[in-house]
Amino acid sequence: MGEWSVEFLRGVLDAAPEGIVVCESGDTDQPVIYANAAFQHLTGYSSDELIGQDLRRLQGSDREQEGRTRLREAITRAQSCRALMRNYRKDGTQFWNEVVIQPMRGGDGSVTHIVGFHRDVGERAPRADLRRAPGLPSWLREDRLSGLHSRAYFEELLLHDWQIGVREAQPLTLMMFDIDELGSYNDTYGRPAGDACIRRVAGIIGASFKRGADLVARWEGGCIVALVRNGDVAAVPEFANSVARKVLGQHIHHPRASRQKFVSVSIGAVSLNPTAERSMEQLIQAATRALQRAKQGGEERVAIAQGEEIS
């Protein structure tokens, strides 16, 4: 086989399904000398806008990232590296970019170019990877009482998933689990016992969500929230009821409870497709309204938002 032409190799790179960028080494800015079609589509920038420029524009003002530090250190040491970055397209929308860089060496062994491979993993990235990506400081991401995620961290990732939902037309399901009559439980046994009850119930609920993409957090008081992306919407009522039965089945004694004298939970849930016309707050408000309706019910303590509750 004869040697491949430059045109042929360029055609191969442009046909690649993931973004590929070649940057010059030896310059503090590592300017781009080539960006394939997939990278242009991923970022929204044309080849003319990228050539001769560095890639810091993809981070916008979001510079304090662990991934950025790792990439910079790897470039300094002339090493390959993989990192997860929050990047921003030309239109300002955020995406999670998995970046792999590979130094290319000349005949004398010195690094002449750096090749970067880029792909949007926001919809497929496991939560474990997103947890490692800096946003909130680590000590603010965990709710110390329940051991679940904090409300602030939950809202950060909910915003991330909402943006993906708008772009990809993917449904989101939000569930709110609230411990019934927690106030009278605290009055009976004291606040430390109430906190222990929250921890126990939170553990039961958290263990019910087994997918890596699911997110569970303590919202406030005895209210636990869970976010499910791309879930089976039709299965939500039965799943919610199964979690309620698990909590009730623990037989956590509550002498002042109106339901079998054991701790129970009420559940409000909503499933919808994010759109540019809707806001993330509508998802939260719909689940809250459904929860309020569930708590006013009798034995059936699960309510799915519908009609005017989703508006």
In the three-class reduction of DSSP (H, G, I as helix; E, B as strand; rest coil), residue 268 is classed as: strand
Are the C-beta atoms of 265 and 178 separated by less than 8 Å?
A: yes
Report the pLDDT averaged over residues 159-182: 88
Residue 264 confidence (pLDDT): 93
Q: Is the pLDDT of residue 86 over 70?
A: yes
pLDDT band at 2; cut points 50, 70, 90: low
Closest Cα to residue 90, out of 46, 52, 43? 43
φ/ψ of 238, rounded to 5, equals -65, -40
**Better-scored residue on pLDDT, 310 or 280:** 280
Report the pLDDT averaged over residues 58-84: 83
Residue 1 confidence (pLDDT): 45
Beta bridge mates, 266: 178
Helices (H) and strands (E) in the chain, counts: 10, 10
Are the C-beta atoms of 302 and 269 separated by less than 8 Å?
A: yes
Closest Cα to residue 24, out of 113, 130, 140, 143? 113
Closest Cα to residue 199, out of 253, 148, 257? 148
Q: What is the 3-state secondary structure (H, E, C) of 3-67?
A: CCCHHHHHHHHHCCCCEEEEEECCCCCCCEEEECHHHHHHHCCCHHHHECCCHHHHHCCCCCCHH
Q: Is the pLDDT of residue 124 over 60?
A: no
How does pLDDT run across 199-257, given as a tens digit for each residue? 999 999 999 987 767 889 999 999 999 998 876 778 889 999 999 999 999 999 999 88
Give the least confident one: 101-105, 109-113, 133-137, 168-172: 133-137
How does pLDDT run across 257-294, given as a tens digit for each residue? 887 789 999 999 999 888 888 888 999 999 999 999 99
Residue 180 confidence (pLDDT): 94
Residue 254 confidence (pLDDT): 93
Q: Is the pLDDT of residue 135 over 80?
A: no
Strands 302-304 and 265-272 turn out to be parallel
Tokens of 266: 């009420």
Residue 137 confidence (pLDDT): 54
Q: Is the pLDDT of residue 134 over 50?
A: no
Structural domains of the chain in order of their starting residue, each with its CATH number: 6-120 (3.30.450.20), 136-309 (3.30.70.270)
Residue 127 confidence (pLDDT): 52
**Better-scored residue on pLDDT, 41 or 126:** 41
In the three-class reduction of DSSP (H, G, I as helix; E, B as strand; rest coil), residue 226 is classed as: strand
